Amino acid sequence: MPPVSPDAHRPLRLGLLRCDDPVPELRSICGTYADMFADVIARVDPSAEMDTFSLPDDEWPDDLDAYDGWMTTGTRASVYDDVPWITQFADFVRQLHAERRKMFGVCFGHQMIAHALGGTVQRAPHGWTVGANVWKIHERREWMVPPSDEVRLIHSHQDQVVSLPPGGVVLAGADRCPIAMLAVGDRLIGLQGHPEFQPEFVGPLYESRTELLGTDVVAEAKTSLASPCNQELAATWMLRFFAGSG
């Protein structure tokens, strides 16, 4: 795919809001979450630039105009946790919304868009959603190029969005995650699946959580990883969203 920069004179510049990192014993596989994002983005658009801000370490951007948009990593925390950086993150999302700046929230960021703007996030009644999940596209947007009626991505979460904020729209849904992708207006997009996750990372991740997830759940999740996922398609959509004029 050719670079998707917003104009011919400079590369796309993105800010990654880091909310967590893998435990040390898993970092040797694919690196940090920032490394994983950098890898999938480079495969789609090698010219794109990314700066990382560690929210739990109180690193916040001071020049929003310097970036074409914002992405987020996942985290073991919940959006409703009473933690200062999470409260500040909710305020940050509301600022982005008020100023009509672009954000493509992944996992925790997807949930934060809903939570910060008046939707509901809670523990899923069926428990954890792990492994590769297929979700159907319900509403198409112009940046969904190349088009696809469904997307297969790796999931790893026990919280999920159960009701939309005012003005929210469901763009895609999966059997275990009906609000797998959402939009609030044309500037905030949430995605519950992980375009940055690769099977070689999440297999050991699930194994490390066997006591939490259960042996059968881990085995089923690992089996689902044998079929290809659409990480690069999701990343392409994400970058086209940031590069678009809408």
Active site residues: 107, 194, 196
Are 182 and 190 in contact by the 8 Å Cβ rule? The answer is yes
Cβ–Cβ under 8 Å, residues 132 and 143: no
Cα 246 from chain centroid?
20
Length of the chain in residues, anyone?
246
